[in-house]
Amino acid sequence: MDLECASQETVKQGLLARGWPPIKGFSKHVKTKVFEFFSHLIKLGQDDPRRVVHSLKAGLALTLVSLFYYYQPLYKSFGVSAMWAVITVVVVFEFSVGATLGKGVNRGLATLLAGGLAVGAHQLANLSGRIGEPIVLGFFVFLQAAVSTFVRFCPQIKARYDYGLLIFILTFSLISISGFRDDEVLELVHKRLLTVLIGGSTCVIISVLLFPVWAGQDLHNLIASNMEKLGIFLEGTHLHYQLLKKQCMYLVTGSGICLQGLEMNTLKCQRMESPKKIDPSCRVIKVFLTPKPTKMPWWANFARWEPRHGRFQFRHPWRQYLKIGALTRKCAYRIESLNGHLYADIQAKREIRSKIQETCTTISMESGKALKELSMAIKTMVQPFAADIHIENSKSSVKNLDTLLKSGLWDDETDLLEVVPVATVASLLIDVVTCTAEIAESVNELATMLKFEVVEPTVSPEKTETGQPKIGIS
Amino acid sequence: MDLECASQETVKQGLLARGWPPIKGFSKHVKTKVFEFFSHLIKLGQDDPRRVVHSLKAGLALTLVSLFYYYQPLYKSFGVSAMWAVITVVVVFEFSVGATLGKGVNRGLATLLAGGLAVGAHQLANLSGRIGEPIVLGFFVFLQAAVSTFVRFCPQIKARYDYGLLIFILTFSLISISGFRDDEVLELVHKRLLTVLIGGSTCVIISVLLFPVWAGQDLHNLIASNMEKLGIFLEGTHLHYQLLKKQCMYLVTGSGICLQGLEMNTLKCQRMESPKKIDPSCRVIKVFLTPKPTKMPWWANFARWEPRHGRFQFRHPWRQYLKIGALTRKCAYRIESLNGHLYADIQAKREIRSKIQETCTTISMESGKALKELSMAIKTMVQPFAADIHIENSKSSVKNLDTLLKSGLWDDETDLLEVVPVATVASLLIDVVTCTAEIAESVNELATMLKFEVVEPTVSPEKTETGQPKIGIS
């Protein structure tokens, strides 16, 4: 054995001495992977420091509940049942208050209900003698598991009570089966319910009192910031359009940031070496096309469990938020489509494009401003009057565009092929205005539901470059 | 007490006799709700009978595992630890084999790892004396809970090992805390691991052997059927377009089904009373815009756990499926946009529209056929040669359209305003062709990855109505 070990050692040393490439390569690969993993973790913490706080809160809750084992008087009352408190904390403690509350309430109610029913099942099974008892119990367990599992497929129930049904199956099975070996079923139910309540309330209290994370607040912010990003993008689009027209190679030389509008708002965008290399679908739009918005329905579900906090009441209209979110997403797809055609458009003759250029710019600017105002209205919970004015401006510009086209501004020699891309851009821009108006309408509905504060907008006499009056909330 | 009861009874009877509206209304409301709930459940079962089978399987697994309590020899070996087997079955048993396997493997490995570490922590804590022990144990519990909770935020880990980390926290806490009161920690770990393995393997065996539901198969079918629906819609679009042109009021009088192409394929579509009332965004497209596709990443995650089955190998390229799914969705949004403009288009003069009518119809038909062939290629796992031919046809039609526009087919008196909607439809149709070509490319990639069967398409001499050769797989 020693000899074998020694020889293995010699081989290993020999390999290391010769710097055997596969081993060296492998250890380097592992080092890189580990380094990448840790830097990724650090980035996760930096992106949202609430994650670090949540981890510490989870550790604290678990440590608190484990006192039931360490502290003799507590252990005397509960014994090994204290285990259920520990399990409850591990399973129930979630990132947001809503999720924690939802799981806690589900677990508590399901334990109570299933415990009660299991005691009933135990009593019934007791009547059927020592041989009949396991058969009756087995039948009950099978029946409730099958029925509850099936009910979990119901989307409305799955959304709010899925965890409760799981705990119902678990508790009913455990209590009714345990009843076969242990006649003190009532005490079992009592202890389990009490420990679950202790574990659950520990989670809820820590979750609410120590740096609470409200799912509703997150949903509210996400909806507003998505809308703002679209607004910034639309405002930037006209700049981009003009830049392309003038064949500017760089907006910012050197580091090469995409759009001025975006850069000012510190949004990251793709590096552009030259206009030809620009990816038509900029990252800002991609934000909406990634699966992130799919989290919204979850957040809305969690938010529905949350009590009154800050500016949010208990029965806050979270569904309206989802409606606004869906419309914003639709608008993002429209803008993406428009964005693609903007690049086809630059192939059109400058004279043709320049004829509708200004009106298109105004429409894009006004829609962008409207979206930004709507976002601000949601953020500050103020009536979106300013946005309505911008919407009206963009609609009247659409009418101007219409008149411009009807007035036969084009001469008879215009090549129709060159008109097509410009006309397409105009049509798609009109689509974006329609979509923006839809968003404004749903935000107005939200404002009515929540009785947003009324702050009259002030129209300053100062004019913008497009000749439209500048509008701002005083 | 009796008097109180009697008086309450009288009041109730009096109210019922007078037919007190609120009570009557309430009981009717409850009856309707209960009836609705049950008919909804029946519909859930009819929509996918595998749900009923799954519920019965879950009941069976739970009943089987509960034998550990009923059968004396088994109870002797495990005692109350058999509870862990029951819990494992309730928590691990999922609808698809992949999800069950994933949770089972996660639970098994996490229990093994956390059990080992907890024994180590228990030994270390033992060295620090009776007073130091709870402090050391508490520190370990806090540390591992905080670190594991934080690691769960990492998206890559969350996707595959979230449940494992949860069980890791649970097992480590339970075993290390229990060690404070019970010195036979090793036996505790051994029993827990064994019962978890028994519960987990019961789930996996039942899940695989009794009417297995493969997440991979579901993902495969969903991708193919979504593509097929789009294809049918595109093929139908030209019919719709022609119908609108001819001002046909009803396609099918009476029940009023939307498009002929759709009706033939028994897809439900919105009832249309008259063309003016048609909702531009038909339900077929809405299918893609609802949150259902968000399930795809989940299914792909589950599918990755599944062993070789049918035509699917263990390391099946599920990511490529997600890529195809995302492209299909993008295409659906493009078609929705096109669909909206189709209705604006009918306002344009018939003469103008009719000039590009045939080419547009060919493009739409060929793209639709290409999508249907691609869907068929995925379904049958055969190289999509036929689709490539349709894509080429649609691309050459796009060139025709280009030539048509360039040839100055329009006379000088044409009003540009009337050209714009037609031109927009043409541009959007070209977008759809680009998107279809992208889908075809990614399906071809999949075909190469999976070495799809090679079946040469036969080009029959028969011509279609649009003058293109009819193509079918022999």
Domain ranges, ordered by start, for chain A: 2-47, 52-209, 215-450
Which residues in B lie closer than 8 A to residue A62 (C-beta atoms)? Answer: 141-142, 145, 169, 173
Interface contact flag, A424 B419, Cβ < 8 Å? no
Closest partner residue to B90 (CB to CB) among A173, A420, A427 is A173
Q: Provide the ipTM.
A: 0.79
Predicted confidence (pLDDT) at residue A11 exceeds the cutoff of 70: no
Please tell me the predicted confidence (pLDDT) of residue A292: 60
**For residues A428-454, average pLDDT:** 88
Q: What are phi and psi of A410, to 5 degrees?
A: -75, 140
Q: Which residues, in sequence order, are bridge partners of residue A472?
A: A458
Closest partner residue to B51 (CB to CB) among A150, A402, A410 is A150
Q: Which residues does B444 contact at the CB level (< 8 Å), separation at least 6?
A: B384, B388
User: Which of A241-245, A325-329, B114-118, B231-235 reaches the highest mean pLDDT?
Assistant: B114-118
Please tell me the predicted confidence (pLDDT) of residue B117: 93
Closest partner residue to A405 (CB to CB) among B80, B154, B417 is B417
Longest dimension (CA), chain A: 101
Please tell me the predicted confidence (pLDDT) of residue A301: 86
Q: Which residues, in sequence order, are bridge partners of residue A411?
A: none
Measured over the CA atoms of residue B412, residue B413, residue B416 and residue B419, the dihedral's sign is: negative
Closest partner residue to B416 (CB to CB) among A70, A137, A419 is A419
Interface contact flag, A416 B420, Cβ < 8 Å? no
Predicted confidence (pLDDT) at residue A313 exceeds the cutoff of 90: no
DSSP assignments along B13-79, one per residue: HHHHHTT-HHHHHHHHHHHHHHHHHHHHHHHHHHH-THHHHHHHHHHHHHHHHTHHHHSHHHHHHHG
Interface contact flag, B412 A412, Cβ < 8 Å? yes
**For residues B1-24, average pLDDT:** 56
**For residues B4-10, average pLDDT:** 53
Chain B interface mutation, best of A84, A178, A424, A438, highest count of B Cβ atoms under 10 Å: A424
**What mean pLDDT is reported for chain A?**
77
What tokens were used for A167?
């705990």
Closest partner residue to A145 (CB to CB) among B59, B150, B427 is B59
Which residues in A lie closer than 8 A to residue B181 (C-beta atoms)? Answer: 69, 75, 80
Predicted confidence (pLDDT) at residue B460 exceeds the cutoff of 90: no
Count Cβ–Cβ pairs < 8 Å, chain A vs chain B: 204
Closest partner residue to B55 (CB to CB) among A149, A170, A173 is A149
B359 or A33, which is more confident: A33
Q: Compute CA B135 distance to the chain's CA centroid, rounded to the nearest angstrom.
A: 48
Chain A: give the shortest CA distance to residue B474, in Å.
Answer: 38
**What mean pLDDT is reported for chain B?**
77
How many Cα atoms are found within 13 Å in the side-chain-facing hemisphere of B97?
A: 21
**For residues B391-410, average pLDDT:** 76
Coil, strand, or helix at residue B457? strand
Interface contact flag, B87 A170, Cβ < 8 Å? yes
Predicted confidence (pLDDT) at residue A244 exceeds the cutoff of 80: no
Distances (CA, A) of B127 to A258, A268, B74, B133: 62, 54, 36, 8
Distances (CA, A) of B94 to A171, A261, B200: 18, 48, 11
Please tell me the predicted confidence (pLDDT) of residue B343: 61
Nearest alpha carbon to residue B74 among B195, B245, B184? B195
Which residues in B lie closer than 8 A to residue A294 (C-beta atoms)? Answer: 291, 294
Q: Which residues, in sequence order, are bridge partners of residue B457?
A: B473
What tokens were used for A36?
């990448």
Q: Model confidence at A102, in pLDDT bands (50, 70, 90)?
A: very high
**For residues A86-94, average pLDDT:** 93
Which residues in A lie closer than 8 A to residue B345 (C-beta atoms)? Answer: none
Q: Domain A215-450, CATH 1.20.58 — does that match? A: yes
**For residues B13-27, average pLDDT:** 66
With b meaning 16 or more CB within 10 Å and e meaning fewer, what string describes B32-71?
Answer: eeeeeeeeebeebbeeeebbbebbbbbbbbbbbbbebbbe
Chain A: give the shortest CA distance to residue B42, in Å.
Answer: 10
B31 or A343, which is more confident: B31
What tokens were used for B254?
């009476």
For chain B, give the percent of residues with pLDDT over 90: 27
Interface contact flag, A421 B427, Cβ < 8 Å? yes
**For residues A346-358, average pLDDT:** 66
For chain A, give the percent of residues with pLDDT over 90: 27
Please tell me the predicted confidence (pLDDT) of residue B45: 92
pTM for the structure as a whole: 0.79
Q: Which residues does B240 contact at the CB level (< 8 Å), separation at least 6?
A: B259, B342
Predicted confidence (pLDDT) at residue A259 exceeds the cutoff of 50: no
- Structure confidence by residue, pLDDT tens digits, A142-200: 999 999 999 999 988 888 899 999 999 999 998 888 887 777 788 888 888 999 999 99
Residue of B nearest to A145 (CA): B59
Q: Model confidence at A279, in pLDDT bands (50, 70, 90)?
A: very low
Q: Which residues does A362 contact at the CB level (< 8 Å), separation at least 6?
A: A393, A394, A397, A400, A466, A467, A468
Chain B interface mutation, best of A34, A175, A177, A435, highest count of B Cβ atoms under 10 Å: A177
Place of tokens 């009861």: B5
**Dist CA B74 CA B81 (whole Å):** 11
**Dist CA A221 CA A325 (whole Å):** 11
* A155, burial (CB in 10 Å: exposed 0-12, middle 13-18, buried 19+): exposed
Which range (A53-62, B41-50, B427-436) has the least confidence? B427-436
Please tell me the predicted confidence (pLDDT) of residue A212: 92
**For residues B166-192, average pLDDT:** 86
Predicted confidence (pLDDT) at residue B66 exceeds the cutoff of 70: yes
Q: Are B324 and B446 in contact (CB under 8 A)?
A: yes
**Dihedral angle of Cα B446, B452, B455, B461, to the nearest 10 degrees:** -10
Chain A: give the shortest CA distance to residue B425, in Å.
Answer: 9
Interface contact flag, A424 B421, Cβ < 8 Å? no
Please tell me the predicted confidence (pLDDT) of residue B420: 67
Closest partner residue to B145 (CB to CB) among A58, A69, A412 is A58
Closest partner residue to B69 (CB to CB) among A56, A181, A405 is A181
Predicted confidence (pLDDT) at residue A87 exceeds the cutoff of 70: yes
Q: Model confidence at A43, in pLDDT bands (50, 70, 90)?
A: very high
Chain B: give the shortest CA distance to residue A448, in Å.
Answer: 27
Interface contact flag, B337 A341, Cβ < 8 Å? no
Nearest alpha carbon to residue A45 among B133, B149, B234? B149
Which residues in B lie closer than 8 A to residue A422 (C-beta atoms)? Answer: none
Which range (A136-140, A470-474, B66-70, B385-389) has the least confidence? A470-474
Q: Are A174 and B83 in contact (CB under 8 A)?
A: yes
A71 or B378, which is more confident: B378
A372 or A287, which is more confident: A372
Could you write out the three-class secondary structure of A169-224? HHHHHHHHHHCCCCCCHHHHHHHHHHHHHHHHHHHHHHHHHCCCCCHHHHHHHHHH
Residue of A nearest to B69 (CA): A177
Please tell me the predicted confidence (pLDDT) of residue A70: 82
